[in-house]
Amino acid sequence: MSTASQPQVVVCGGAAEFVSTIDAGRHRLIADEPTRVGGKDAGPSPYELLLAALGSCTTMTLGLYARRKGWALEDVRVHLRHSKVHADDCATCDSKPVLLDRIEREIELVGVLTDEQRARLLEIAEKCPVHRTLTSSVDVRTRLLP
C-alpha cells in the first residue's frame, strides 16, 4: 500500500548539535535535547514530542466524542510523563535487567459531567489513534536515500 497521499514529515539535523528542524506539512517545529545532556534546549525533546502527540490526540478524540454526544465538556487537560522502568515479570529476559518504556497519562475533564460520562470518556481515551499506535506492534522500515 502506497503512502504517497499521506502527509510527509521531514526532519533535518546536523552532526555538530542536537537541534533538528521538523517540517510537517505547512508547519515548522524545532526539536532539541535539554542542556543537561548537551543540547541547547531550543525545543522539545523527541520524547516530549511523542508525549505531545499522545496528549493532543487524546484531547481531540475526547472533544470530538463529547461534541457528538452533546455533553458539557468544556476543556480537556492531559498531563504526561515518560520513564524507563524495570520489568518485574519478563519470561524472556535471560536474567539481565530489562527496562520498559512507561507513559503515565492523567486526564483532567473540565465541565459538568456525570460519573458515567467521565468513565466513558476515560474508556474513549484508550481508543485515540496515537494511543492505539503506541500500544500496537509498529513496523518501522528504514532505507537510505541516494
Same domain, 52 and 22: no
6 and 69 inside one domain: no
pLDDT (tens digit per residue) in 5-44? 666 899 999 888 999 999 999 999 999 999 999 999 999 9
Same domain, residue pair 58 and 103: yes
Say what the pLDDT of residue 124 is.
Answer: 98
Same domain? 49 vs 117: yes
Same domain, 30 and 52: no
Structural domain of 101: 45-134
> Count of domains in the chain?
2
pTM here is: 0.85
56 and 39 inside one domain? no
| Whether residues 35 and 54 fall in one domain | no
Q: Are both 34 and 62 inside the same structural domain?
A: no
C-beta separation of 77 from 56 below 8 A: no
| 74/122 same-domain check | yes
The angle that helices 46-69 and 115-125 make with each other, rounded to 10 degrees, is 140
Q: Are residues 111 and 69 in the same domain?
A: yes
* pLDDT one digit per residue (tens) for the chain, 146 residues: 344 566 689 999 988 899 999 999 999 999 999 999 999 999 999 999 999 999 999 999 999 999 999 999 999 999 999 998 876 655 555 556 677 889 999 999 999 999 999 999 999 999 999 999 999 999 999 999 99
> Could you tell me which residues are beta bridge partners of residue 103?
82
79 & 102 share domain? yes
pLDDT at 2 (0 to 100): 45
Write phi, then psi, for 97 (nearest 5 degrees).
-65, 135
Verify that 21 and 53 share a domain, yes or no. no
By the 8 A CB rule, do 21 and 36 touch?
Answer: no
The pLDDT, as a whole number, for residue 75 is 98
Residue 1 domain flag: yes
